[in-house]
Structure 1
Amino acid sequence: MRALIAAAIGLAAALALVSAISAVGSPTGETSPKPLLTTVPGPKR
């Protein structure tokens, strides 16, 4: 029974956190026009 209560409390806390983050929304700003490097650049030839 304690495990069920703990799981319910954890689920409620997770849902509250997701709801709070969704309510705040994404921050305003601009993205960088430069692409990110995903690989190590090799030697220039």
Structure 2
Amino acid sequence: MRALVAAAIGLAAALALVLTVTAVGAPQGETSPRPLLTTVPGPKK
């Protein structure tokens, strides 16, 4: 029974966190115009 109560409390806390982040929205800002490297550069020729 304790495990069920703990799981319910954890689920409620996670849902509250998701709703809070959704209500606040994304932070304002800009993305960098320079692309990020997604692979390791090879040897220079």
- Please, which runs of 5 or more residues in structure 2 have no aligned partner? none
Give the structure 2 partner of residue 34 of structure 1: 34
Instruction: Flag as ranges the 4+ runs of structure 1 deviating above 6 A.
Output: none
Structure 1 range deviating more: 5-14 or 33-42:
33-42
- Please, which runs of 5 or more residues in structure 1 have no aligned partner? none
Percent identity over paired residues: 80
Query: RMSD of aligned C-alpha atoms?
Result: 1.0
TM-score by length of 2: 0.86
The offset of 1:19, in angstroms, is: 0.6
Give the aligned length: 45
